[in-house]
Structure 1
Amino acid sequence: MKTTDTLPETDASGDRKSRKASKETRQQQLIEATIDSLAKRGYAETTLANVADGAGLSRGIVNFHFESKERLLIATLQFMADEYAAHWSAAYEKAGDTAASRLWALVAADFDRKLTTRRKLAAWCAFWGEAKSRPTYQALCGARDARYQQLFEDLVTALKAEGDYAYEPKAMTLVLCAALEGLWWRLMMSDGLTREAAHAAAIEFLVGTFPRHMTREGPRAA
């Protein structure tokens, strides 16, 4: 009888899980190495070879998992977009029940140290520089997607009703999101702006726009 015929079913299942885990681990290694390469070299100079070197893996392993540089870059951008979406979604869900507390949480999430590391900001910058000519990148770079924009508009609309503000909600949503994106750009350009200073600037925007709801220390008590 062959040895494989006597293997318990649980062992085979465990082996499959191990192989799956190994595949996911290798892919994540390569994605992280791609982020490092984009931050260090930029988009054009990032190659499968230097990604493989950065991950401590062979070029053949890169080809096995992603087949091409384009597939690897798309997977990396998808990972970053998913991470960003999961981050702001979690912040929104953990916030209080008021529109002010939820808006405060969303803005704070944009400047969390997990997302605004120098390497990740540089990788975002590299992808955004290519997005104009690549529809796939345009879609994935839109981490501030329709749901994200709608959440902001809903919150801005609620605050207008509560505070009797004079702004038009759609226009104010556009301005607010543009301000946050602009601060991200400044961070990505590494012009001396710190994460803390960018967040403080965003808070000033909130305080100035929603004075009946926001202070520099946080949302006013309901």
Structure 2
Amino acid sequence: MNVEALKPPAAEPEKRGRKASKETRRQQLIEATIDSLARRGYSETTMADVADGAGLSRGIVNFHFESKEKLLVATLQYMADEYAAHWRSALQKAGDDPARQLDTLVAADFDRSICNKRKLAAWCAFWGEAKSRPTYQALCGARDRAYQNVFIDLCRKLKEDGGYDFDPVATALGLSAMLEGLWLRLMMGTEEVTRETAHQAACECLASAFPKHFSRDGQRAGKAATE
């Protein structure tokens, strides 16, 4: 009997191991890029900074990303995917009630996993470059439109349910701009603005726009509260 023939092939496990290691290193480099963007800003972040921050050789950075621009695009892609997965998961868990869905989406924007000084600073670094970099605009544009369309749809449903007199598209745009503005305030690090106070301010806006569905204490009101 050929004993060697009975042994499982070693190539496939080794291949999986190499793949896992490559993905781990890429993730390390992306996380280190987020750290560098938060500390140094966009223009001051270098491949060497990222390598040092990840505890990897500079050759490893070049092997995985070839250039600073490719590394930054991959980092923006990761952050955009993470944000999209976060709000989509929150929306799915909210059920079918539009008021609950909108409430959940707003609350999700202030979850610590995505709303922290490190990631907010990295987002701001990318926002500052977006106007002159079409790649960044294209990368986030479709995701932004999908998010905005959900807001428009929810505003339209709440208008019909509550008999409100507003334009759903303009109201959705205002809500999105309000959330982005609160993120900027949080990034600036002023003492009076925390994740909790920012969320409270967002709830105040919901109560103003949809008084039959939200109260000023951050709770859902009226019909929505009884369902």
Instruction: Provide TM-score, normalisation by structure 1.
Output: 0.93
Distance 1:164 1:66 in 2: 53
The 5-angstrom pairing of residues 1-222 of structure 1 reads 8-9=8-9, 11-142=10-141, 145-192=144-191, 193-215=193-215, 216-219=217-220, 220-222=225-227
Q: Unpaired runs of 5+ in structure 1?
A: none
Deviations 1:170-192 (A, max 9, x none): 11111111111111111122233
The one-letter amino acid of 1:179's match is M
Tell me the amino acid that sits aligned with residue 218 of structure 1.
Q
In the alignment, the residues of structure 2 paired with residue 110 and residue 93 of structure 1 have an alpha-carbon distance, to the nearest angstrom, of 15
Structure 1 residues 6 and 27, CA, compared in 2 at 3 Å: closer, same or farther?
Answer: farther
Say whether the 8 Å CA contact 2:204–2:218 is kept in structure 1: no
SS of the residue corresponding to residue 218 of structure 1 reads coil
Offset from partner CA, 1:101-139 (integer Å, 9 cap, x none): 000011111111111111101100111011110011123
The separation in 2 between residues aligned to 1:57 and 1:33, in whole angstroms, is 10
Amino acid in structure 2 at the alignment position of 1:52: A
State the 1:213 CA deviation. 0.7
Pick closer, same or farther for the CA change 1:148–1:5 going to 2, 3 Å.
Answer: same
Q: How many residues align?
A: 218
> What is the CA–CA distance in structure 1 between the aligned matches of 2:88 and 2:177, rounded to whole Å?
19
Q: Which moved more, 1:186-195 or 1:98-107?
A: 186-195
Q: Distance in 2 between matches of 1:140 and 1:93?
A: 24
Coordinate RMSD, CA, aligned: 1.7
1:81–1:143 contact (8 Å) kept in structure 2: no
Contact persistence 1:103–1:152 (CA under 8 A): yes
Output the CA distance in 2 between the equivalents of 1:201 and 1:113.
17
Q: Which runs of 5+ in 2 are unaligned?
A: none
CA–CA separation in structure 2 for the residues paired with 1:133 and 1:5: 60
User: 1 CA distance for matches of 2:150 and 2:194?
Assistant: 27
Shift of the 65–165 alpha-carbon distance from structure 1 to 2, 3 Å rule, reads same
Query: Offset at 1:30?
Result: 0.2
**Contact 1:43/1:126, CA 8 A, preserved across alignment:** yes
Q: CA deviation at 1:7?
A: 6.1
Sequence identity percentage: 65
